[in-house]
């Protein structure tokens, strides 16, 4: 099981050097990936960590491609209805080329209705639009000449190049915890990227996806990944507190408890766990990362 780190590019006052030090230190410690997340315009009255000091994720990912030289570069997650799928396909193909094939494309349909309204995106159509956008992105990544006639987009005999460095494009990991999101994993993605779910809560979703994968005749196995907050007793110090949007799970407690919680993810067949430390100080984030790699990861098979 591989581990990644969410880059703290939101929530706390921006300190570019410290933020980038999290990314470079994560790579030096042996983390397999670094991740960015997506919101653009958040209501001032909504108290969530993504409201404050948030850098645009695809722009940041391009910079990280030069700063981080070996680890994978992931999005957790890009909200599909917010941007033109053709532009997103082009931007991520560019980053995949610049990084020599290290992009993981995490995607979601979104949930924040006022943000949809501000961006002139249809909240009611977000599911159908997400599906169409994924089809367009995948097509632009796999064919140099593309045509499309859909509900929201139409074009004919256009050239999409260069394609990404990864054959077929970056892997697409679909976020969201609903049954519709899990169907999207199987119909249009390569794996599931859950957010804030415990292993026990993920179990039924993993089973559902495996069933659908087989019924749809998909080859190989789906990727299972999770993004979850990490707090280590005696090491991690939370300095930012927002009312939780939902009752999201975390990995927390003693070193032994954290090993046990991660072992449960491993038993489900997860290949990748992305750890979030965004409510901690930069110093606490670095200390948490070091303690995790030195004292937790070696205890996992």
Q: Give the angle subtended at the CA of 213 by the CAs of 204 and 107, to the nearest 5°.
A: 75
Output the pLDDT for position 246.
Answer: 60
Number of domains making up the chain:
1
The answer for 299, left when phi > 0, alpha when psi is -120 to 50, beta otherwise, is alpha
* Percent of the chain residues past pLDDT 90, beyond the cut: 96
pTM for this model (two decimals) = 0.97
Q: What's the Rg (C-alpha) of the chain?
A: 19
CATH code of residue 18: 3.20.20.30
Distances (CA, A) of 254 to 2, 59, 137, 139, 274: 21, 37, 43, 46, 19
Structural domain boundaries, residue 225:
2-299
In the predicted structure, residue 301 carries a pLDDT above the cut 80: no
Confirm if 222 and 191 have CB atoms less than 8 A apart. yes
Confirm if 155 and 84 have CB atoms less than 8 A apart. no
The pair of structure tokens assigned to 284 is 């606490």
- Report pLDDT digits (tens) over 218-242: 999 999 999 999 999 999 999 988 7
């Amino acid at each position: 099981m591989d581990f990644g780190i969410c880059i703290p590019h939101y929530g706390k006052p921006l300190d570019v050097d410290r933020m980038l030090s999290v990314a470079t230190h994560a790579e030096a410690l042996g983390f397999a990936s670094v991740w960015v997340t997506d919101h653009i315009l958040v209501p001032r009255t909504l108290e969530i960590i993504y409201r404050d000091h948030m850098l645009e994720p695809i722009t940041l990912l391009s910079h990280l491609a030069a700063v981080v030289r070996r680890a994978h570069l992931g999005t957790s997650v890009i909200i599909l209805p917010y941007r033109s799928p053709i532009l997103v396909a082009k931007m991520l193909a560019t980053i995949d080329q610049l990084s020599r094939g290290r992009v993981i494309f995490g995607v979601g349909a979104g949930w924040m209705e006022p943000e949809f309204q501000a961006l002139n995106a249809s909240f009611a159509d977000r599911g159908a639009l997400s599906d169409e956008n994924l089809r367009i992105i995948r097509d632009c990544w796999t064919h140099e000449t593309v045509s499309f006639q859909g509900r929201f987009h139409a074009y004919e005999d256009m050239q999409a190049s260069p394609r990404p460095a990864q054959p077929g494009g970056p892997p697409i990991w679909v976020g969201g915890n609903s049954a519709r999101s899990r169907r999207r994993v199987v119909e249009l993605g390569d794996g599931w990227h859950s957010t804030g779910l415990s292993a026990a809560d993920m179990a039924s979703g993993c089973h559902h996806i495996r069933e659908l994968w087989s019924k749809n005749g998909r080859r190989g196995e789906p990727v299972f990944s999770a993004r979850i907050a990490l707090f280590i007793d005696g090491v991690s110090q939370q300095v930012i507190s927002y009312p939780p949007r939902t009752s999201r799970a975390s990995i927390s407690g003693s070193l032994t408890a954290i090993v046990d919680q991660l072992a449960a993810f491993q038993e489900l067949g997860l290949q990748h766990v992305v750890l979030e430390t965004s409510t901690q100080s930069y110093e606490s984030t670095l200390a948490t990362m070091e303690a995790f790699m030195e004292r937790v990861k070696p205890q996992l098979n």
